[in-house]
């Protein structure tokens, strides 16, 4: 499942609302919210690349996958 897209060195696009919420709670800056180009019913969240956002994303998505495996086991 794709949660993110790194479009430039200045911004990261987040496709999953729950991931965006976790980043916001961790103090990262959201710079735009817009409709998803492939599905207008969905929303994407654009975050500024700052501090250790990529490491935090890796941690969030790793924990999500780990929890999903527990549920499916």
Q: What is the pLDDT of residue 71?
A: 72
pLDDT digits (tens, 9 = 90+) for 34-61: 999 899 899 999 999 998 999 999 999 8
Contacts (Cβ under 8 Å, ≥6 apart) of 53: 12, 23, 28, 47
Q: What is the pTM of this model?
A: 0.76
Q: What is the pLDDT of residue 65?
A: 73
CA 44 remoteness from chain centre: 9
The whole-angstrom separation of Cα 50 and Cα 11 is 9
Domain boundaries, the chain: 4-72
């Amino acid at each position: 499942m794709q949660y993110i897209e790194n479009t430039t060195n200045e911004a990261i696009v987040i496709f999953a609302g729950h991931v965006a919420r976790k980043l916001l709670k961790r103090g990262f800056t959201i710079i735009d919210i817009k409709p998803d180009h492939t599905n207008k019913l969905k929303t994407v969240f654009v975050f500024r690349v700052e501090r250790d956002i990529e490491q935090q994303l890796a941690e969030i998505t790793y924990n999500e996958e780990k929890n999903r495996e527990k549920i499916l086991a």
